Amino acid sequence: MESIGALSKKLSDYLDPKKVDQVNKAYHFACEAHSGQLRSSGDPYVTHPIAVATILSSFRMDEDSIAAAMLHDVIEDTGIPKSVIEKKFNKDVADLVDGVSKLDKLTISNRATGEAENLQKMVLAMSKDIRVIVVKLADRLHNMRTLLYLNREKQVKIARETLEIYAPIAHRIGMNNIYRELEDLAFKVLYPTRSERLTAAVKKNRGGQKKTLDKIQKELNKKLLDQGIPALVEGREKHVYSIYRKMKERKRSFEEIMDVYAIKIIVDTPENCYRTLGHIHNLYKPVEGRFKDYIAIPKSNGYQSLHTGVVGLRGFPVEVQVKTQEMNDMAENGIASHWLYKSGNQSDTSPQVRARRWVAGLLEMRENFESTEEFIESVKTDIFPDEIYVFTPRGEIIEMSGGSTAVDFAYAVHTDIGHHCRACRINRRLAPLSVPLESGQTIEIITEKVPQTSPAWLNFAVTPRARNSIRHYLSNLKTSEARKFGKTLLDQSLGNMDIKLRDIDKLELRRVLNNIGVRSLNRLLEEIGLGLRVGNIVAQQFIGFLKENKEITSKNIVPLEITGSEGLIVNYAPCCKPIPGDSVIGHFTAERGLVVHQERCKNILSVREDPQQCFPVNWGESSGKVFTAEIKVIARDEPGLLANLAYAITSQETNISSIQTTEINTGMHEFVLHLEVSDRLHLSRILKKIRSLKSLVSVTRIHDHEMRQAKALH
């Protein structure tokens, strides 16, 4: 069991005393936070953070990573907020602890099978700083080493998760020492009998072959020494799980697996790697197809080496790897072995390739790197800046674009779910549809029987699938609504002349449509509803063809009744913001249909009397729709002014959709508020409540957008 003293001694080999002090401070903070907590083994809980920190110290990780290792369970297990850690230490430590805590919350084992690749990507996507992954892997390694204290069910669950998710991630970032140990530990738990038998077979085989292997090593040593190549030659046994995997994948017996043993030769330069290879092939016959040049073309996780298979003494097959010391460090410890080298390029579009090349770039870019601080900034980068990975309630993973919202998610699951989406729960809590999602969240969509698609969704939906589906649906809906609304307008206009559309003879109707220049009655009604044609003008054209002697004037027009429930075809002018109870008039615009303005609105004064552009409208019975009214409040400054104003408004059963405040002179404030109201009566009750405030100077409704703009400019 490691002690803080032993750890401090290790750290002092490569960290300044001040940095070691930070780790000690983190240790004492963790002791206090975990006071009274025990591990399943019965040891004090703090022994686990020390063990994780000790693993990291073997990679010579920086002080923030090791402090985070000390504190990695504090947020999750003791409820201490991230803000406290940031205050006590620094933002980097707090972000690292928070990152590891978020990974701990992923209940990966319960998720759908066959999702391992996406789960690996999700873990990487959640780790904005690669050090989060390194700390998490050290945490997982210590947990796997002490798994025997848990019950069988938990052991299997954690081991499977390790084998499917964390070991491949360790391999991906080149931390092969951790990767091999995690695989072997998980294999031992999941398949104890197979692991035991294979370990025994390797041991038995080792006994019989050791002398041959030693002799091959001596021969290679002598040959390289004679050629003046400085080299370290050592034998290596493949780890048990990799042997098992090859037996399974290739459907071969243990005896048929040729590369159970490998000889590793470490030389001083890449040039000597190739010279060494030539001398090996002079000594022993190479096996066809076994040569791999990973120096010229490194593996995707940054691994570099020359591999060859040869037949040694007495037909003994052996794999030989030739690499430099630096390549060997990278092969064993990956990113951690080059903690002082700069990260590489992330330009590739594939997230999988980008993650791997990013780590491989550590080798290529190291000479451009100067300070530890710069390097740490370079690793604090989202490996997947353009992708997020979220769960459905059933545990399936959906890959989405960065910035996606619940609406995008709903359409990603199914178009019908998108159309019927009413609300969402993120991690079981109700949340707005417009909130950008984060990797690792579980998203649940609440639907209605009736479609809920809204044009407002286009303001925050980001995925092409969602945006195209919304546009397509609204286009069809708009056509349908336009036809219905156009019929209402034409019926009303014709009704003024005692003519009903349904009573017109079909042949006469066809003649009228031909003369107007429209292919069908439905198309005519759509054009009227969309504002491309004016209902009362079309009615006049009908009258002209049906009854030559009769004309229609604007005096005959009965106002159209609106309720606010007309959908996409009737719009309410943003310049004057009409609400039920205001005197209003309808203005026809191409594509926007009928736009309702207050009669006093300056924007339509010049066209109010033009029957081709304007149409009288009245408010019908309330539909329950919410309208926006804008008010201006001037009040004297006093403690709690904004809170009192907000309470006065919300107590009248309304919402404040936006608020702007300006200090107009010392001790005087102006507030411009957008309120959600049902009608003028509702607004008057709100204004009356505001007038009861002691600090109030004035409260007025803003009717005119231009006035407001002029005042702002003034």
- Enumerate domains of the chain plus CATH numbers: 4-190 (1.10.3210.10), 198-335 (3.30.460.10), 339-379 (no CATH), 387-462 (3.10.20.30), 471-619 (no CATH), 627-713 (3.30.70.260)
Instruction: Give me the amino acid identity at 673.
Output: L
Q: Is the pLDDT of residue 353 over 70?
A: no
Element (H, E) at 237: strand 231-237
Q: Is the pLDDT of residue 125 over 80?
A: no
Range in 105-109, 310-314, 398-402, 410-414 the model is least confident about: 105-109
**d(Cα 663, Cα 642) in Å, to the nearest integer?**
13
What pLDDT is attached to residue 2? 64
What pLDDT is attached to residue 436? 92
Q: Report whether 123 contacts 59 (CB < 8 A).
A: no
Element (H, E) at 713: helix 705-713
Q: Is the pLDDT of residue 82 over 50?
A: yes
Q: Is the pLDDT of residue 350 over 70?
A: no
Q: Report whether 332 contacts 174 (CB < 8 A).
A: no
Structure tokens at 411: 């359409």
Q: Is the pLDDT of residue 338 over 50?
A: no
**Of residues 580 and 129, more confidently modeled:** 580
Element (H, E) at 189: helix 176-190
Structure tokens at 504: 């017109």
Range in 108-112, 488-492, 656-660 the model is least confident about: 108-112
Q: Report whether 560 contacts 586 (CB < 8 A).
A: yes
Q: Report whether 561 contacts 485 (CB < 8 A).
A: no
What pLDDT is attached to residue 567? 63
Q: Is the pLDDT of residue 113 over 60?
A: no
- Of these ranges, 74-83, 271-280, 341-350, the one predicted with the greatest mean pLDDT is 271-280
Q: Report whether 308 contacts 290 (CB < 8 A).
A: yes
Range in 50-59, 168-177, 332-341 the model is least confident about: 332-341
Whether 491 is a known active-site residue: answer no
Whether 13 is a known active-site residue: answer no
Residue range 603-624: mean pLDDT, rounded: 80
Q: 615 Cβ partners below 8 Å, 6+ apart?
A: 489, 534, 535, 536, 557, 560, 585, 586, 587, 588, 594
Rg value, the chain, Cα: 37
Question: Within 13 Å, how many C-alpha atoms sit on residue 153's CB side?
Answer: 1
What pLDDT is attached to residue 391? 85
DSSP 3-state assignment of 388?
Answer: strand
| Mean pLDDT value across the chain | 80
Band of pLDDT at residue 68, cut at 50, 70 and 90: very high
Q: Report whether 273 contacts 306 (CB < 8 A).
A: yes
What are the residues facing 587 on neighbouring strands? 595, 614
Burial 303-337 (b: 16+ CB within 10 A, else e): bbbbbbbbebeeebebbbbbbbeebbbbbbbbbbb
Question: Within 13 Å, how many C-alpha atoms sit on residue 156's CB side?
Answer: 7
What pLDDT is attached to residue 363? 37
Q: What is the pLDDT of residues 635-649, one digit of tens each?
A: 998 888 888 999 999
Band of pLDDT at residue 206, cut at 50, 70 and 90: low
Element (H, E) at 271: helix 270-283
What pLDDT is attached to residue 144? 94
**d(Cα 366, Cα 662) in Å, to the nearest integer?**
53
Q: Report whether 96 contacts 135 (CB < 8 A).
A: yes
Structure tokens at 708: 């407001």
**Of residues 220 and 506, more confidently modeled:** 220
Question: Within 13 Å, how many C-alpha atoms sit on residue 508's CB side?
Answer: 12
What pLDDT is attached to residue 550? 44
Q: In what order do the strands lie in the sheet with 614-619?
A: 560-562, 614-619, 584-589, 593-598, 570-572
Q: What percent of the chain has pLDDT over 90?
A: 25
- Of these ranges, 265-274, 304-313, 622-631, the one predicted with the greatest mean pLDDT is 265-274
- Among residues 634, 637, 648, 638, the alpha carbon closest in space to that of 702 is found at 634
Range in 20-24, 379-383, 450-454 the model is least confident about: 379-383
Catalytic member of 2, 43, 77, 377: 77
Catalytic member of 43, 76, 104, 332: 76
Looking at the whole model, is its pTM more than 0.75?
no
What are the residues facing 389 on neighbouring strands? 399
**Of residues 366 and 225, more confidently modeled:** 225
Structure tokens at 16: 């300044």
Chain position carrying tokens 């399974």: 248
Q: Report whether 382 contacts 432 (CB < 8 A).
A: no
Q: Is the pLDDT of residue 448 over 70?
A: yes
Structure tokens at 536: 């009362």
Structure tokens at 378: 């370079």
Q: What is the pLDDT of residues 525-573, one digit of tens each?
A: 888 877 777 777 788 778 777 765 444 444 455 677 787 666 666 888 8
Residue 342 — φ and ψ, nearest 5°? Answer: -75, 150
Q: Is the pLDDT of residue 314 over 90?
A: no
Q: Report whether 596 contacts 575 (CB < 8 A).
A: no
